[in-house]
């Protein structure tokens, strides 16, 4: 267990620190500022969803059982709350329907003290992209709640990246969120003040999800003639075996017994009954602040009384008791700032660190090597001012970023050498030709190999095996073992990217579903509770956006609403 109590006097306290000021962080700030989603109608084209909406007890979505409302929904996200919010904001959008949203955001909630930290202006990585690139999503899908995305001047259904970046910057201003944003700031460290797992407890995420569902309430002593709770006994045995004094067995009434799998399916928490004579002793833990209603119980509340541990519910006694320390650096002034907070929300996207080929790992990148399209274009434009003739540009990769680079280089009348490991690209199967003609053009070039397309030569099923920076010579190796040697002017390795979570402590970096792999938005997102977006095994740490697999803007509001709903409940604001 790690406990840090000594803090500098100049530490700034916030209830919530949001790391990342892209659309995910903006949506999160919107909810925390008190602008909450309210249902305006329950008439949805999905009859099952419409039926569930008719049973809500309040029009404010924050206070609803989001898991229940999201049951049965399917779409391009694996997170149920994201699918729910998309269904309410863009009903049947995937079928081409343009319907009015069933929600509106109103300034009806209590403001949660928070700060959004970002490297650049609000909008995140949209400000670093090639401004002339068109979005994959329709322009209308790039909007955040409350302000529609403006129609493109060129009448394109898709939007230019420069328009998207400008929209997010204007959105923060018009929604009066500027006071929550701190720009030109790099987060250098995030540290937990408490270990959320006892050292002798199992590490299975399923175990901790089960513990989180246990609820406690006080019952008179007359209810003790009930059957023992085997589940609670097992949990207590695991979590308090180091205690010097033996805890009483928790009990529950027989009519509460039901199949565990059915409880999981219905997302109904188990209820554990604490006898009345335990009530006095348990007052030392402020999770028993209510004597009449059920109160959520965390794994910490099972801990032995003699272990010095910050309690999950210390907020009722010490509302400004922090659980996390966040350190940041102002890139303009060099000033460092330390924040303490109860909750941290990771909203830093997935494009910070480009993937690198093995031959470049551990080496300094040569001057002619880049990992993003904007840098490639800058180098090309600078070189073309000095000469009109350049050696071919090497592009490695078979995704959309590589396709963008192929188009950008050919438009400058510079030859392209395109290297990729497969036989062809796969993106043509996902993108209809009538909406994405430029990508299908590149796909045709990759299949053709370059025999009928000027300034383009493809090397399918090849790998880059050697790079000589002094002579700008590269060696390619085919699948059959044939070697090709080429002279190039520049090289762009565009094989995807991953989030930069280097500010986390080493023991906190294994956040993915697969602990032995790096976080990847497509193959290994952060392991979260699907209804609250809290990171498994890390109390008070949340993740939203591409970090959890929500790679399209239209799904980002769902994560913000899920986190907002959980925080409003934890802080007793609803």
Claim to verify: residue 472 and residue 502 sit in the same structural domain:
no
Cβ-based burial of 358 (10 A; exposed 0-12, middle 13-18, buried ≥19): exposed
Query: How many other C-beta atoms are found inside a 10 Å radius of the C-beta of residue 71?
Result: 15
d(CA 33, CA 176): 9
Predicted pLDDT at 455: 92
d(CA 221, CA 532): 35
Claim to verify: residue 458 and residue 525 sit in the same structural domain:
no
d(CA 565, CA 506): 30
In a domain, 1, yes or no: no
pLDDT digits (tens, 9 = 90+) for 462-481: 999 988 877 889 999 999 99
Claim to verify: residue 185 and residue 209 sit in the same structural domain:
no
Residues 6+ apart with CB under 8 A from 329: 185, 186, 188, 335, 336, 337
pLDDT digits (tens, 9 = 90+) for 405-425: 999 999 999 999 999 998 887
In a domain, 188, yes or no: yes
Claim to verify: residue 408 and residue 473 sit in the same structural domain:
yes
State which residues form the domain around 228.
205-312
Number of domains in the chain: 3
SS3 content of the chain, % helix, strand, coil (to 5): 30, 20, 45
Claim to verify: residue 38 and residue 153 sit in the same structural domain:
yes
Residues 6+ apart with CB under 8 A from 86: 75, 77, 93, 554, 555, 557, 558
DSSP letters, 260-281, are HHHHHHHTPPPEEEEPGGGTTG
In a domain, 7, yes or no: no
Of 104, 101, 25, whose CA–CA distance to 60 is shortest?
104
Claim to verify: residue 151 and residue 218 sit in the same structural domain:
no
Claim to verify: residue 85 and residue 20 sit in the same structural domain:
yes
d(CA 328, CA 187): 4
Q: Which CATH number belongs to the domain containing residue 149 in this structure?
A: 3.50.50.60
In a domain, 564, yes or no: yes
Burial 504-534 (b: 16+ CB within 10 A, else e): beeebeebbbeeeeebbbeebbbbbbbbbbb
d(CA 368, CA 474): 12
Claim to verify: residue 67 and residue 184 sit in the same structural domain:
yes
Consecutive 10-residue averages of pLDDT for the chain (574 residues): 45 96 97 96 92 88 94 92 95 83 94 96 93 90 93 74 96 97 96 63 37 32 39 46 38 37 39 37 32 34 31 44 94 95 94 84 83 94 90 94 95 95 77 88 87 90 88 91 94 91 85 90 92 95 96 95 96 88
pLDDT digits (tens, 9 = 90+) for 46-76: 999 999 999 887 889 999 999 999 999 998 8
Predicted pLDDT at 153: 58
d(CA 4, CA 193): 5
In a domain, 543, yes or no: yes
pLDDT digits (tens, 9 = 90+) for 88-134: 999 988 887 778 899 999 999 999 999 999 999 999 999 999 999 99
d(CA 570, CA 482): 62
In a domain, 285, yes or no: yes
């Amino acid at each position: 267990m790690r406990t840090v109590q000594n803090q500098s006097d100049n530490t700034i306290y916030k209830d919530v620190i949001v790391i990342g000021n892209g659309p995910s962080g903006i949506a999160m700030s919107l909810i925390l500022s008190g602008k909450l989603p309210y249902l305006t109608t329950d008439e949805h084209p999905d009859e099952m969803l419409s039926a569930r909406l008719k049973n809500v007890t309040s029009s404010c979505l924050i206070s609803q059982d989001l898991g229940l409302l999201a049951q049965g929904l399917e779409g391009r996200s694996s997170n149920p709350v994201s699918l729910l919010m998309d269904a309410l904001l863009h009903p049947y959008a995937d079928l081409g329907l343009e319907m009015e949203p069933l929600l509106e955001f109103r300034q009806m909630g209590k403001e949660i003290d928070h700060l959004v930290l970002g490297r650049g202006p609000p909008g995140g990585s949209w400000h670093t992209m090639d401004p002339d690139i068109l979005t994959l999503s329709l322009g209308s899908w790039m909007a955040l709640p409350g302000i529609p995305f403006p129609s493109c001047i060129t009448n394109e259904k898709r939007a230019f990246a420069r328009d998207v970046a400008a929209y997010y910057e204007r959105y923060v201003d018009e929604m009066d969120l500027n006071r929550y944003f701190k720009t030109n700031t790099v987060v250098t460290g995030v540290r937990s003040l408490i270990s959320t797992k006892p050292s002798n407890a199992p590490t299975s995420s399923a175990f901790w999800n089960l513990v989180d569902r246990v609820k406690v309430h006080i019952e008179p002593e007359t209810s003790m003639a009930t059957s023992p709770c085997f589940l609670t006994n097992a949990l207590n045995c695991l979590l308090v075996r180091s205690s010097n004094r033996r805890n009483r067995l928790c009990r529950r009434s027989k009519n509460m017994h039901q199949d565990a799998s059915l409880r999981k399916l219905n997302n109904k928490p188990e209820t554990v009954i604490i006898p009345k004579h335990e009530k006095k002793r348990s007052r030392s833990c402020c999770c028993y602040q209510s004597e009449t209603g059920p109160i959520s119980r965390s794994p910490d509340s099972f801990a032995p009384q003699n272990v010095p541990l910050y309690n999950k519910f210390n907020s009722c006694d010490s509302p400004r008791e922090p659980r996390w320390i966040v350190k940041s650096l102002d890139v303009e002034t060099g000033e460092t700032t330390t924040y303490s907070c109860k909750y941290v929300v990771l909203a830093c996207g997935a494009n910070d660190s480009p993937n690198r080929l093995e031959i470049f790992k551990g080496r300094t990148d040569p001057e002619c090597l880049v990992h993003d399209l904007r840098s490639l274009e800058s180098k090309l434009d600078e070189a073309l001012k000095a000469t009109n003739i350049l050696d071919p540009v090497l592009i490695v990769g078979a995704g959309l970023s590589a396709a963008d680079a192929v188009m950008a280089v050919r438009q400058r009348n510079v030859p392209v050498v395109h290297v990729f490991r497969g036989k062809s690209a796969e993106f043509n199967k996902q993108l209809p030709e009538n909406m994405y003609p430029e990508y299908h053009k590149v796909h045709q070039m990759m299949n053709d190999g370059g025999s009928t397309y000027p300034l383009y030569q493809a090397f399918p099923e090849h790998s880059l095996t050697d790079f000589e920076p002094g002579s700008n010579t590269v060696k390619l190796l085919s699948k059959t073992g044939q070697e090709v040697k080429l002279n190039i002017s520049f090289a762009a390795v565009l094989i995807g990217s991953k989030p930069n979570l280097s500010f986390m402590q080493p023991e906190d970096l294994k956040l993915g579903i697969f602990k032995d792999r790096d976080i990847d938005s497509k193959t290994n997102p952060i392991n979260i509770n699907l209804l609250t977006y809290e990171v498994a095994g890390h109390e008070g740490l949340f993740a939203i956006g591409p970090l959890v697999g929500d790679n399209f803007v239209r799904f980002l509001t769902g994560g913000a609403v899920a986190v907002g709903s959980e925080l409003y409940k934890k802080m007793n604001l609803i």
